[in-house]
Chain A
């Protein structure tokens, strides 16, 4: 049984299709969702995070149907979600914020202390415990968003733009934490940072206008890039990405 299954999923906003008949099977490991603005990345992530429902099609998360209230509750106890956004406008301190999210997740005191300790250490938030969240720099906010998503030991981690506008230190920490996490849970993340995403993902899904334009490993994207003409001297990864988004038929990589 796959961890996450999307079957002919469609979502439309005000007559504008955001996703059109998406079929995906996601298993343990890290899947990076990429694509230009408006391709449907955030919509796909919000569907996986059970924040919205599809107009048609089916979603199964660890075998559970998010349309059924009791199964939805089960999914959410094993879900970590970090939405996009740099401006967490709250007067709570970092420590209060993490305890607040732990309470929202219904963690008991033992689980709460254990998980908060682990995430503060892993994501280097110790120095900011008593700072108000609204005053944190962007990189620290991104780390905090990932830290709160990891509370409660989720099986499915959904992260929207975790590397957007982050500094070098935060990027390094995030990549390290996500690499280690992908061993034992299903991570789905979206973003624009091709190199970062390719470095940690074992699968890349490129969306184009609400449809899947590419779904394979980073190595296959590199191979696709190498197989294209590359007049702009792009890296193979960038060339492969652009080829996936182009309307031209993509050449098959040479069989090894």
Chain B
């Protein structure tokens, strides 16, 4: 039997081996007690573990995550926001769905202003529903783990919805500036950004689903009022107001934002 060298065992322990080498060494370790003893008792093992601890304690952080932490977002929330695009297929699907919605809405209103009402009604929630459908792969173990985690479930859905809305708005603005004839398609994504931010902020104070019901109710009431006044598209001015409200609530309740009580769904 050929035993792995100490350098190879060290590489295995410190994650520096290639996948093939790691699998080969692991297979060897199953049947070789002397190498297992070597790994567990060797002086150099302690050094390897020290290196490993350094790796564990300093996980690679993306620039967005570092930026979010710098502006005061709690560490774990910043990680969840920054990690959203790591689930690439779902993230791109969500962003694409949001952009398609904005494009269709902008086109429909241009040709028929009365057509704005159905789009305005669903504007705050449609991107979040898209996120839920894109990320919520039935039977996926990661989805199931997230669903029962204190900061998973509905709260995670809102965090991802916020990320998707913000990214979609940025892309829509860029498209309007550089690639397409000037249009304001991005404005159709502002209600969802505002509503999601407001729901997240209010969820500091109440259960997240209750916060969502409050925000959607306010939106529908204001939309009804502007429709009766004959100018439903005035509802767009409500988006920034909701956003300001959300930020104000977040600042006031910021000290409690790491409490998991809001994640009760």
Contact = CB atoms under 8 A, between A and B. Distances in A.
Contacts of A106: 76, 150-151, 258, 260, 263
A103 B146 CA distance: 10
Contact of B55 (A81, A88, A129): A129
Contacts of B55: 95, 129
B249 interface: no
A127 B26 contact: yes
B76 A113 contact: no
Contacts of A103: 75-77, 79-80, 83, 151
A234 interface: no
A126 interface: yes
Most interface-central of B12, B79, B156 (chain A CB within 10 A):
B79
B72 interface: no
B109 interface: no
Nearest to B208: A69
Interface residues of B, number: 52
Contacts, number: 140
Contacts of B22: 127-128, 131
Contacts of B80: 100, 103-104
Interface stretch (B135-143, B165-173, B181-189): B135-143
B141 A117 contact: no
B152 to A, nearest CB: 5
A129 B249 CA distance: 39
A135 B26 CA distance: 16
Nearest to B258: A106
A1 to B, nearest CB: 22
Given A73-B264, A116-B56, A84 B151 contact: no
B140 to A, nearest CB: 7
B13 interface: yes
Contact of A50 (B12, B88, B148, B260): B148
A117 B149 contact: no
A70 B261 contact: yes
A116 B52 CA distance: 11
Contact of A104 (B14, B19, B59, B146): B146
B79 A100 contact: yes
Which bracket fits the contact residues of A?
Answer: 35 or more
Contact of B265 (A49, A69, A135): A69
Contact of A145 (B30, B140, B141): B141
Interface string A103-117: 111111100010011
Interface of A: 49-51, 69-70, 72-73, 76-77, 79, 81-85, 87-92, 95-96, 99-109, 113, 116-117, 120-121, 126-131, 135, 137, 145, 148, 167-169
12 contacts: A69-B261, A88-B140, A95-B55, A96-B59, A99-B79, A106-B76, A106-B258, A113-B56, A113-B57, A126-B52, A127-B13, A127-B26
| Nearest 10 CB-CB pairings of A with B | A69-B264, A104-B149, A103-B76, A85-B141, A103-B79, A83-B144, A73-B264, A129-B15, A169-B30, A83-B141
Interface of B: 12-15, 17, 19, 22-23, 25-26, 29-30, 49, 52-53, 55-57, 59-60, 75-77, 79-80, 83, 86-88, 137, 139-142, 144-152, 156, 207, 258, 260-265
Given A76-B260, A129-B15, 20 more contacts: A51-B144, A72-B265, A83-B145, A87-B141, A88-B140, A89-B137, A89-B140, A90-B87, A95-B55, A95-B56, A100-B79, A104-B149, A104-B151, A108-B75, A126-B15, A126-B52, A127-B13, A131-B19, A137-B23, A168-B30
